[in-house]
Amino acid sequence: MRLWVDRKAKSRIEIDAMQKTAAADQAENGLPVTADKNWIVVKPEDIHSYQRSATTTFASVLACSSSPRP
């Protein structure tokens, strides 16, 4: 699995081209073609929003676990 944080459109275009070139090179050399597979592409905003929701959820769990039990 590979992770790409998509910060700029120009960079995304470049990585797409690199993936295609590497995949073609793998095929040409008789290797399994994996260079263009199993990529996860996220934007920085996606990571930040996930961190906020995970932190909120974790804080809720902590609050519940620290409550006195009967």
DSSP the chain: -EEEE---HHHHHHHHHHHHHHHHHHHHTT----TTSSEEEE-HHHHHHHHHHHHHHHHHHHHHHTSPP-
Answer yes or no: is pLDDT of 69 > 60.
no
Contact 24, 61 (CB under 8 A): no
pLDDT confidence of residue 49: 76
The residue segments making up the domain with residue 31 are 2-65
- Decide if 70 is inside a domain: no
How far apart (Å, rounded) are the C-alpha atoms in residues 2 and 4? 7
- Decide if 28 is inside a domain: yes
How far apart (Å, rounded) are the C-alpha atoms in residues 3 and 52? 20
Total domains present in the chain: 1
pLDDT confidence of residue 57: 57
